[in-house]
Amino acid sequence: MSGFDLFDALDDSNSGSASGSNQSSGQGQPTSSAGIWPEGQSGGGGPWQGGGGPWGGNQSGGGGMWPGAGGGGSNPSPGGWPSPAPASGPGPAHGGGSTPASGPSPRQSLSVPYRLNLRNGVYDGLLFVIKGVIKPNANRITIDMCTKGDIAFHFNPRFNEGGQQVIVRNSCRNKKWDKEERELSGFPFVPGQPFEMEILCTSSDFKVSVNRSPLLTFRHRISDLRSISTLCIYYDLDLISVDQRTQ
């Protein structure tokens, strides 16, 4: 049975129709006329307090400033592993372990929805740096780390969910949403303002930093990290650049 292409569903993302209780409340997933998206999510998730400066010394295993992320998983990053090379997406992508140029990024926009193909999957020490500007009247943005048929990491800041700002994190396996994580102190995204977001993959979790401040960790629910084949970005932002490098 062949897996569905998550990115193909984006064509209907603005249609306003959805199935499942959570889609209508801003789940952050594109609507698919083929009905590939799962039913609504259940609430839950544990709190985590970020703090300190940007990335600490030893990112693997959740030491230092990343409480609650220790242990679990064994996907070391051997020196011989190549850095994943991006394939063509809706816009140009910087990649392959290169370091972005210093100084302010030029105000150019990559196409949104945006997809970056990850030919070698993800692995311990792989860092994504995403720069953009939140639209002035933003409702939500979504960043997904996807396999062929599942979502390994769903990151969904919502700017007005019943008058509240919340960042929903989840995964989707076998077309069904897992348990949400939404408890968090702070909301770093500001409508009309630029941001720089880092997603660091370790052997046990994804660590997210925004504007050089650690924000949260999300423990891996899909253990085969090399099966994660795309990074998808969509909704209410102007996307300036997406870079990847190995720590």
Q: For 101-156, write each residue's pLDDT tens digit.
A: 444 444 567 999 999 999 999 999 999 999 999 999 999 999 999 999 999 999 99
Categorize the per-residue pLDDT at 21 as very low, low, confident or very high, splitting at 50, 70 and 90: very low
Token reading at 116:
């970056």
* pLDDT reading at 167 higher than 60: yes
Coil/strand/helix, residue 86: strand
Write down how long the chain is: 247
Question: How many Cβ atoms sit within 10 Å of the Cβ of residue 74?
Answer: 8
Buried b (16+ CB within 10 A) or exposed e, 106-136: eeeebebbbbbbbeebbbbbbbbbbbbbbbe
The percent of residues in the chain predicted with pLDDT above 90, rounded, is: 54
* CATH architecture classification, 114-246: Sandwich (2.60)
Of the listed ranges 22-31, 118-127, 185-194, the one predicted with least confidence: 22-31
Contact 230, 241 (CB under 8 A): no
The predicted pLDDT at position 107 comes to: 53
The whole-chain average pLDDT of the chain stands at: 72
Across 29-36, average pLDDT: 39
Of the listed ranges 74-88, 120-134, 203-217, the one predicted with least confidence: 74-88
Find all residues with CB under 8 Å of 221, minimum gap 6, and list them.
152, 171, 173, 178
The predicted pLDDT at position 108 comes to: 60
Break the chain into its structural domains and give their ranges. Answer: 114-246
